[in-house]
Chains A and B, each alone.
Chain A
Amino acid sequence: MDPRQEEETNALLAPVERWSPRFLVFVGLLAAVVAWGAYAYNVQLQQGLVVTGMRDTVSWGLYISNFVFFIGISHVGALMSAILRLTKAEWRRPVTRMAEAITVCSLFVGASMPIIDLGRPDRLLNVLVYGRVQSAILWDFLSISTYLVGSLLFFYLFLIPDLAILRERLTSIGRFRRWLYRKLSIGWTGAPDQRRRLERSIGILTILILPIAISVHTVVSWIFAMTLRVGWNSTIFGPYFVAGALFSGVASVLMAMALFTHFYKLDRWIKPVHFRNLAYLLLLLDIVYIYFTLNEYLTVSYKSEGAEASLLGSLYGGSFAGLFWTIQIAGLIVPAFLLAFRRTRTTLGIVVAATLVNATMWLKRYLIVVSTLATPQMPTGWGSYWPTWVEWSITAAAFAGFVLLFALVSRLVPIVSIWETQEAREPLKGTAKEIPAGEVST
């Protein structure tokens, strides 16, 4: 291995090898928030969903908003990584591992949300035992479990060569981690037969994961769109949700890149060009999302049919107007301006735009879920919903759990793929032979 490569490998292995006290404190804080959420969930289990703000009219709230949000950002790993690999975008190499890790971590957190939303989680299996094939809930269960397994495999395949490096290089770590790397690296030596099998598997999953990821968020949107509820009864919810998922997913990768570059000193691999290229992608998705938003609201507003008009009134100038306009302005318009102009398209500007996008996309999911349910279907008046401390605690634990999982992943495996960044240099390498000193022409 050439000295530069050796030095780069060591730099990428450093955060994995040594867990600093600062990191352990950070993990402890996150674990405390998760523990508080677990306590709140225990209260909910003991006393039932009455401890939440959900009632018979607004029967979905923060949990389902979180579910849609986390499943949304989970798309980025699969879609971004797969698309950039298929299009052979070489700049992808330092960022794909991050995106794939976001997918796995957010899927675990997102998939747990509907279970938390169940008053009786022990009845979860009833979805399979008594599920009807015509039910969008059953489709959702199938698609999310399929996507979770696919994403884990996708994440794992790209880890195998790096796990072998960890197995060989990290000898001073604890026994458990040595055992873990030995088992997970499944005897990888880089032999031709192994390479052939790995490449074949990666090829299959890179293509397969795209339709799976798209179908998952489409099916999530059908949970809403298959109903006749105002605000949900839409034919464009599938692509609208997929676009929104990618939008918030790319914003998440940008935020993660900024944090890792700062704390893990990854400037050598993650450069302004990576921020810039992803900023273009974010801008494109912003424009696509604005297009879908206009299409959705303009057509419904133009018709202003009975109950739809009532919902739109509450969004444009009623009780949900603050949320609605915050999302449009802070989540779509401001980021578009920040990303469109060269002066503001700096790393800081891009990260600010990404943060705004993620915050408002979470609000958007909340708005989609709650405003429709609050709209009266019968002459019974508007429903009301405000989350209780139990829901806020579990939501905080969900976000803390996501960050905790992500942080642990980044300390268990290199957050920038070692073998992929090295592989990028392979075509540049030629064969070199030392010339005896006496034969060197002057």
Chain B
Amino acid sequence: MRTHAAWLVLLVLLTSLAAPSSPVAVPASATHGDALEVGFMDSQSRVDGTLGAGEYSHNHTDPDTGITIYVQYSGNVLGIALESPGLGWVALSLGAVLVGSNVTDVLVFADANGTLLALDEVDHGWERHLDVTVGGTDDIIATAASTTGSGWRVEFQVPLDSADDNDHHFLANGTYPFSLAYNASSSDPSTPDTAHSMTDLLLHVGPSPDISRAERTAVRASTQELIAGQKGTLTGLLKNTSGAPIPDEPIEFYLKTTYGLLYVGLGRTNSLGKAGVVYEPKSSGTWTLNVVFRGTGRYFPSNDTVELTILEAPSSGGFWLTPTLGITAVILLVVGGVWGSYAFVVSQLLGIRRAGRRSVTRHSSIRGEGGENHP
């Protein structure tokens, strides 16, 4: 409970730094003062845990925390990398989700024993929730991490303007406050921070290019026949409207499920405009595969859906008793046995009633009267 309270204190601090955070519209020609410029780039950042030459437009090292933040945007995607001086969790608060409110968008990352934890959360000032638990969606598109000497780096992408009301909505030419925090050693995000931003940091989203120059695209989804329990490939083909393949662009693959879109993976197009992911379905059935190209400054976004049929795995012919079949058989045997015994007891009760009637009939015939039961 003590750590919980400490984390709440941190959140209040983060929230107070981030709010109020109504976007300050700044003319493109105006200077942005100390605001970190988020520059538009032709291609999205490569989320692989490393910093490529020219991958990000700008960066800034926060003197209070020592965290370096790298930023860029392309199309509707904001690419960010955070370099933390510690090995514990690192968090970025992105300001109010609604103009004038104190509800802020918080992104938390941690390396939990080799598993990268990426949490898209909303902070109401007194408690935080994962977006998905309050009717929103997890909008962190991709994450990757690597170690950097005594610290670690996490790269991720989020939409500039997602459809989720729990996320901050960025607009080109807008200036927004943000803050940073990290823990030096603990990957448990409920532990208090080692340091957090003490002053208001500002982030300015640069102007978007003239979209009239952008090309329209068409992505086509295709699948090979998939079998449950076996690896198969999902592919997407990205071309412009004149049919020329578009290389080196990210394509996202989703499956439509009862619980919404299930993120399957991300592939990057090759010289033929083809991107793919290897997918191993667990169960058979027919699903809808959704292939998404989010667009960049040069290309408009596009998406496509295709029906994906996953076949039952063929029987090996040897051991046919699957766990489900085993459980079903046990339940049927046990429950069937018990209810069979009940049926037998009921048959005995019916026998008792028949015997009682016979006894009454005999009794009545001896006495020459009928009807009433007697012991």
Contacts and interface: CB of A to CB of B under 8 A. Distances in A.
Interface of A: 56, 133-134, 139, 142, 146, 149-150, 153, 157, 160, 164, 167-168, 182, 185-191, 193-194, 197-198, 200-201, 204-205, 208, 212, 306, 310, 313-314, 318-319, 376, 378-382
B341 A204 contact: yes
A201 B324 contact: no
Interface string B336-359: 001101101110110111011101
B1 A318 contact: yes
Contact of B349 (A142, A168, A186, A208): A186
Contacts of B7: 379, 381
Contact of B352 (A160, A208, A212, A313): A160
A425 B328 CA distance: 48
B119 A150 contact: no
A197 B351 contact: yes
Interface in B134-192: 134, 188-190
Interface stretch (B38-46, B123-131, B291-299): B123-131
A186 B356 contact: yes
Chain B interface size band reads 35 or more
B1 A194 contact: no
Given A142-B335, A197-B352, 20 more contacts: A133-B331, A150-B342, A153-B346, A168-B375, A186-B353, A187-B356, A187-B359, A187-B360, A188-B352, A188-B356, A188-B375, A200-B348, A204-B344, A378-B119, A379-B7, A379-B119, A380-B129, A381-B4, A381-B7, A381-B127
Contacts of A150: 338, 342
Nearest to A154: B345
Interface in B1-38: 1, 3-4, 7-8
A191 B359 contact: yes
A304 to B, nearest CB: 14
Contact of A380 (B3, B121, B353): B121
A194 to B, nearest CB: 5
11 contacts: A134-B324, A134-B327, A168-B375, A187-B355, A187-B356, A191-B359, A197-B349, A197-B352, A201-B345, A378-B119, A381-B127
B356 A379 contact: no
Contacts of A139: 331
Contacts of B323: 134
Contacts of A200: 348
Task: Report the 4 A-B pairs with minimum CB-CB distance, sorted nearest first.
Answer: A187-B356, A379-B189, A186-B353, A197-B348
A209 B209 CA distance: 77
B46 to A, nearest CB: 28
Contact of B130 (A314, A319, A380): A380
Classify the secondary structure of B's interface with A: helix
Nearest to B108: A379
A205 B355 contact: no
A168 B360 CA distance: 14
A190 B346 CA distance: 18
B315 to A, nearest CB: 19
Interface string B300-313: 00000000000000
Contacts of A318: 1
Contacts of A376: 4, 190
Contacts of A133: 324, 327-328, 331
Given A189-B359, A381-B127, A204 B1 contact: no
Contact of B357 (A149, A168, A187): A187
B4 to A, nearest CB: 6
Nearest to A200: B348
A319 B360 CA distance: 68
Nearest to B327: A133
B374 interface: yes
Contacts of A201: 344-345, 348-349
A56 B133 contact: yes
Contacts, number: 114
B17 to A, nearest CB: 19
A378 B130 contact: yes
A189 B129 CA distance: 69
B374 A189 contact: yes
Contacts of A380: 121, 127-130, 133
B338 A381 contact: no
Nearest to B128: A380
A379 B3 CA distance: 11
B345 A187 contact: no
Contacts of A149: 339, 342
A109 B7 CA distance: 43
Nearest to A142: B335
Contact of B1 (A168, A212, A382): A382
Nearest to B129: A380
B129 A313 contact: no
B373 interface: yes
Nearest to A182: B373
A382 B339 CA distance: 45
A96 B4 CA distance: 51
Contacts of B348: 197-198, 200-201
A190 B327 contact: no
A168 B323 CA distance: 56
A157 B348 CA distance: 10
Contact of A189 (B189, B342, B351, B375): B375
A381 B353 contact: no
A194 B121 CA distance: 70
Contacts of B352: 160, 186-188, 194, 197-198
B66 to A, nearest CB: 22
Contacts of B188: 306, 379
Contacts of B127: 380-381
B335 A146 contact: yes
Considering residues B8, B121, B188, B342, which has the most beta carbons from chain A within 10 angstroms of its beta carbon? Answer: B342
A395 to B, nearest CB: 27
Contacts of B356: 186-189, 191, 194
A205 B7 CA distance: 57
A197 B1 contact: no
Contacts of A146: 335, 338-339
Contact of B355 (A157, A193, A310, A381): A193
Contacts of A197: 348-349, 351-352, 355
A150 B341 CA distance: 10
Contacts of B344: 201, 204
Nearest to A383: B127
Contacts of B349: 157, 186, 197, 201
B359 A208 contact: no
B128 A187 contact: no
Given A133-B331, A314-B1, A194 B339 contact: no
B8 A381 contact: yes
